[in-house]
Structures are given as C-alpha cells and as structure tokens.
C-alpha cells in the first residue's frame, strides 16, 4: 500500500504536514530537513521543487525558491540528494511544484525516477484535472504515484466531486482565495467552507493548506479535515538557520 494511504488508515490523530523548499535555507539540506521533521513527529512532508516563476506562491516561498535556484538547485539535483531517503525515513513524502518542471523532465521518466526513490505523491497546482486524466493517469498509476489535487472556496461542487473521483490519497483543501502565505486566523466564512466540504462526505480525506501559521490556525484548519499543511511559516522559521535540527525542533514544538 502507498504510504499516504497507510498514514490516513492508521492515524486517528490530526495529521501535521510540512512543506519546505528544496535547496533552502542552504544547499544540500533537503535530506536533513526531512529526517529532522520525521524525528520531531511530523506525519507527512511536501518537498518543494523550486521554480523560477511560482504563480501560486506568495513572497516567502518565492524568495526561498529564488534562493535555492541561485544556489544551483534543480529537479535532477534534488532527486540525487534524496536518493537514499528511504534508508532512514518512513513517513509519506510528496514532491510539490509546477507542471513545467515535470513536463520538461518528461512525465514518464519523472514518475519512474521518483518512484524508485520512494516518493509517494506529487502536487502540481497548475496541472489541470482533465489534462491529468486524459494524459497521465495511467503513467502515475503504473508507478504508484498518487496525484494530489487542490480545491478552493470557489471550486464548484461538481468539480469537487470530479476531483474526489480522481484522487487516490487526499485532497488538498486550499483555505482561502490566496497565494501561499501566513494568516493570523480564519474568518467564519472560511470555517463554514471547511465544514461544507466535510459535509460532502468525500471518498478521500482532505488536508488543509495555505495560511497556517501557528498552533491556533493549525487547529482551526484541522477541525473539519484530516490535518493541516504548514508551508510559509516553516520556510520563514528556517530561513538563515545555522542550527537546522534545533530550529526545526523548536518550530514543531510551537505547533502543539
């Protein structure tokens, strides 16, 4: 069974997931960050593949991506860095990025290579559902790679159902109409949206992302879903870090 499904089957508690940008805060830190996050009790990790033009990202992740690219990060280099990750890490790992990086690498080759490393899923916010279904579903399934799709407060019910049908792991529930970044709290209408999605009784779990900055927003974000994904707040917390293990432990502590 794919580790993502295993996680949602086995875990009763809310899932805590972290996004980080590969190549940030310094070159060759991806493996260490993954190991430290697992050690500190994080349940699932999104490894960001930095892209030159990250349309869905706010300033924090834009800057971390720019930094990583300046320091020479690339998809190939990332895969090389984490090629032995499964010797030490057992939680689900996903790659997150933009479709251009993957199409340039070659979708089939990409799925094959990341599957060999032990990556479980991929999140590409600009790969349309229909395009995936028509062109890549078979490839992803062949290599046991789970695609994760996004829904937002504006997504019509019919499309949410369609997303649910194509989802094999979980649905990424984007909290608010916004690029990535942190917020101090969610408005009532956002909570209503979370509840509305829960009441749709989808076939796969939802995990909430965008705007989670601390324990309170994580709790709000997880109330009607299986858990939350923290991105920008983590990227900020490790920016310029000279003691990754210490800073990661400190950050994760603030979440509970």
Partner 1 sequence: MKYQVNEHGYYGEFGGAFVPEMLYPNVDNLKKKYLEIIQSDDFKQEFELLLKDYVGRPSPLYYSERMSEVYGAKIYLKREDLNHTGSHKINNTIGQILLAKRLGKKRIIAETGAGQHGVATATVCARAGLDCVVFMGEEDVKRQRPNVEKMEMLGATVIPAMSGNRTLKDATNEAIRDWINHPNETHYIIGSVVGPHPYPDMVARFQSVISQEMKWQLMEQTGKENPDTIIACVGGGSNAAGAFYHFLDDEDVELVAVEAAGLGVNSGETAATSQVGNDGIIHGSKTLLMQTEDGQIIEPYSISAGLDYPGIGPVHAHLYKTGRVKFLNATDDEAMEAVFELTEKEGIIPALESAHALAALKKMALKKDQVVVVNLSGRGDKDMDTYIRMKNEK
Residues that bind partner 1 (CB under 8 A): 51-53, 55-56, 58, 62, 66, 69, 74-76, 98-105, 125-128, 131, 149-152, 154-156, 159, 174, 177-179
- Is the Cβ of residue 90 or residue 177 nearer to partner 1 in the bound state? 177
Q: How far is the CB of 203 from partner 1 (least distance, A)?
A: 19
Given the residues 10, 13, 38, 57, select the one marked as catalytic: 57
- CA 18 → CA 97, 138, 157, distances in Å? 14, 28, 28
Residue 82 token pair: 């984490």
Active-site annotation holds for 46? yes
Radius of gyration for the chain, computed over Cα atoms and rounded to the nearest angstrom: 17
Which is nearest to 181 in space by CA: 19, 16, 46, 17?
19
- Is the Cβ of residue 210 or residue 251 nearer to partner 1 in the bound state? 210
Q: How far is the CB of 177 from partner 1 (least distance, A)?
A: 5
Q: How far is the CB of 104 from partner 1 (least distance, A)?
A: 3
Q: How far is the CB of 146 from partner 1 (least distance, A)?
A: 17
Tell me how far apart the alpha carbons of residues 208 and 16 are, in angstroms, rounded to a whole number: 10
Active-site annotation holds for 57? yes
Given the residues 46, 81, 120, 247, select the one marked as catalytic: 46
* Helix runs in 83-156, H state only: 99-105, 107-117, 129-135, 137-142
- Is the Cβ of residue 17 or residue 155 nearer to partner 1 in the bound state? 155
Tell me how far apart the alpha carbons of residues 220 and 224 are, in angstroms, rounded to a whole number: 8
**Residue 112: Cβ within 10 Å count:** 14
Active site residues: 46, 57
């Amino acid at each position: 069974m794919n580790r993502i499904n295993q996680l949602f089957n086995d875990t009763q508690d809310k899932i805590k997931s972290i996004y980080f940008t590969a190549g940030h805060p310094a070159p060759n830190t991806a493996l260490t960050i993954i190991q430290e996050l697992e050690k500190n009790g994080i349940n699932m990790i999104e490894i960001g593949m930095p892209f030159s033009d990250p349309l869905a990202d706010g300033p924090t992740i834009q800057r971390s991506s720019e930094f990583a690219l300046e320091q020479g990060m690339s998809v190939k280099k990332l895969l090389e860095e984490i090629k032995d990750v499964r010797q030490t890490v057992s939680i689900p790992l996903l790659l997150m990025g933009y479709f251009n990086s993957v199409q340039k690498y070659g979708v089939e080759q990409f799925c094959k290579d990341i599957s060999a490393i032990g990556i479980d899923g991929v999140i590409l916010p600009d790969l349309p559902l229909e395009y995936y279904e028509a062109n890549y579903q078979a490839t992803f399934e062949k290599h046991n790679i789970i695609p994760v799709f996004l829904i937002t407060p504006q997504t019509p019910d019919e499309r949410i159902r369609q997303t649910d049908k194509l989802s094999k792991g979980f649905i990424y529930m984007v909290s608010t109409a916004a690029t990535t970044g942190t917020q101090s709290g969610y408005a009532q209408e956002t909570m209503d949206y979370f509840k509305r999605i829960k009441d749709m009784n989808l076939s796969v779990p939802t995990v909430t992302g965008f705007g989670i900055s601390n324990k309170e927003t994580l709790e709000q974000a997880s109330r009607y879903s299986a858990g939350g994904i923290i991105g920008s707040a983590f990227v900020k917390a490790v920016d310029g870090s000279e003691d990754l293990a210490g800073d990661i432990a400190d950050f994760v502590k603030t979440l509970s």
